[in-house]
Amino acid sequence: MTGLSEHNRRRGLVFAMGGLGGLVMLDETVLGVSLPAIQSDLGLSATTAHWILNAYMLAFTCFAAIGGKAIDLFGLRPALIASCSLFAAACLIAGFADNAALLITMRVVQGLCAAIMFPITFAATTLTFESDERGRALGVLGATATLFLAVGPLIGGVLTDLLSWRWVFWINIPVVGTAGVLACMLWRAPDAKSARPDIDRIGLILLLVGLTALIFGLMEGPDAGWGTRLIYLSLAAGIVGLSAFVIWEVRQTAPLIDVRLFQSPAFTAGVLVFLLTQMSKIVVAVLVPQYLQLDLSYSALWAGAATVIAVLPIPFLSAPAGTIADKSGSRRPVLGGLIVLIAANLCIGTAMLLDNYLVLAPVLLIWGIALPFAMIPAGRITANAVPSEKQGEVSGLLITFRLIGATLGVTLGSVFLAIDAGFPAVFWTVAAIFVGCTAFCWFGIRPEQQAAS
């Protein structure tokens, strides 16, 4: 862009990329408030309604590992123009959908586009800034993106209550259009050309088949019957597919996910915490608004506003959590954060039995404060547990496992609600899972690693 200084060009690019990354994160949380309205309007079962969320997550999860290679394969502008245009078109059609099949199909398309858009935001930022400025740039990028995530429930409630749930999809179009155009205008390709990357196609297929079959079996089991042949075959295909994926990846020189990294207990612990904190985040963002609407008869608007108290601390406390980990090591904040998350999830489930938001709100706030102190240092552990030449690969791996956690969160909620276990049981189960994670981290993150990890 003529007349724009290099400093302002790079700063503008970061905010444009933050808008795109934020839009992807917004689509993870904004729909939770709207699900009851969508379910009622289209006459969907609870399981089918949750597929509207999981279709997006599954497509995003399976293709995020190759989405980061889009710049090397096609160039940033072509990849961004194609993905943003298709994303906008899918949002437009989803808003007009009058049946579950079309809506879920458009959510798959959105997930595929997000798998390209989201990694590009990180890649473009790291390619634009030198190493001594990169940390601050990534911090601005992350803060911009996570603000979208934090206000997702509120935006979903406002649009659903005052306009229609269809606007939850249509609101994406001006955002992706503006941010995409600015990013293309402000992008300047680096002089050095990188080699065209290889894509592990067989690994991608095995991951896609394994995850989809496993999630399908878990989500459809309550409706179809756990003893039916379809569910047995689906669960078996999922287990076989994911097992074959691990075996295949171990033998590859350029794997989709380098599973050999998990030989390090500290690395495994960090990834596990990252996955489970993302799972917990989606459980709160999706199920708390539904509980407020279905059990406390809140409107979508007030349910969204009431849920913001849980997710709002996350973008503001992420940087301080990282600073504390830099100064005192990652072990203490991770273990402390996990212990508080166990207590918070137990209290959230118990508070739901009382049907009183004034009791629920404080524990939601505590949950939101604790989450970044477990999640951010966990990401730091994984980065410090591998050599420098693996850092790019670890970033892509964390994105993938972040999405697997989100997918499992939706699945867990769907299964428990389908068997009428109730909202509290979901949070008590999450607390139990965190107990196991805390025990693993206690031994996996050794005290002597604290200063270095």
Q: Tens of pLDDT along 395-408?
A: 667 777 877 888 78
pLDDT digits (tens, 9 = 90+) for 229-285: 888 898 899 899 889 988 888 887 777 777 777 878 888 888 899 889 988 988 898
Residue that is written with structure tokens 């992008």 in the block: 187
Q: What angle do CA 181, 399, 111 make, to 5 degrees?
A: 55
For residue 97, is pLDDT > 50? Answer: yes
What pLDDT does 217 receive? Answer: 82
22 near 147, Cβ under 8 Å?
Answer: yes
Better pLDDT: 326 or 421? 421
For residue 38, what are its two tokens?
């969508």
Q: Which amino acid is at 217?
A: G
What pLDDT does 21 receive? Answer: 81
Q: At 449, is the pLDDT very low, low, confident or very high (cuts 50, 70, 90)?
A: very low
In a 10 Å sphere around its CB, with 0-12 CB exposed, 13-18 middle and 19+ buried, how is residue 130 labelled?
exposed
What pLDDT does 387 receive? Answer: 62
Q: What is the mean pLDDT of residues 176-205?
A: 74
Q: At 106, is the pLDDT very low, low, confident or very high (cuts 50, 70, 90)?
A: very high
Better pLDDT: 389 or 314? 314
Q: What is the mean pLDDT of residues 24-41?
A: 82
Tell me the C-alpha distance between 270 and 156, whole Å: 32
Better pLDDT: 92 or 50? 92
Tell me the C-alpha distance between 209 and 218, whole Å: 14
Q: What is the mean pLDDT of residues 101-130?
A: 82
Q: Which amino acid is at 184?
A: C
Q: What are phi and psi of 256, to 5 degrees?
A: -65, -45
Radius of gyration of the chain (CA): 21
Q: Of 209, 318, 304, whose CA–CA distance to 274 is shortest?
A: 318
Alpha helices in 68-99 (DSSP H): 70-74, 76-96
Tell me the C-alpha distance between 395 and 413, whole Å: 27
For residue 354, is pLDDT > 60? Answer: yes
Q: Which amino acid is at 332?
A: R
- Of the ranges 162-171, 284-293, 310-319, 379-388, which one carries the lowest mean pLDDT score? 379-388
What pLDDT does 351 receive? Answer: 94
What pLDDT does 361 receive? Answer: 93
pTM of the model: 0.78
Tell me the C-alpha distance between 71 and 64, whole Å: 13
Better pLDDT: 451 or 300? 300
Q: At 430, is the pLDDT very low, low, confident or very high (cuts 50, 70, 90)?
A: very high
- Of the ranges 109-123, 133-147, 150-164, 366-380, which one carries the lowest mean pLDDT score? 133-147
Tell me the C-alpha distance between 370 and 330, whole Å: 14
Which distant-in-sequence residues (6+ apart) come within 8 Å of 401 by Cβ? 271, 274, 275, 278
Most confident by average pLDDT, 305-309, 403-407, 416-420? 305-309
Mean of per-residue pLDDT scores for the chain: 81
What pLDDT does 450 receive? Answer: 43
Please list, residue by residue across 159-186, b when 16 or more beta carbons sit within 10 angstroms of its beta carbon and e when fewer do: bbbeebbbbbbbbbbebbeebbebbeeb
Tell me the C-alpha distance between 243 and 220, whole Å: 22
Q: At 366, is the pLDDT very low, low, confident or very high (cuts 50, 70, 90)?
A: very high
Q: At 391, is the pLDDT very low, low, confident or very high (cuts 50, 70, 90)?
A: low
For residue 365, is pLDDT > 90? Answer: yes
Q: What is the mean pLDDT of residues 23-38?
A: 81
Q: What is the mean pLDDT of residues 310-316?
A: 82
371 near 291, Cβ under 8 Å?
Answer: no
Tell me the C-alpha distance between 365 and 293, whole Å: 19
348 near 360, Cβ under 8 Å?
Answer: yes
Tell me the C-alpha distance between 269 and 316, whole Å: 25
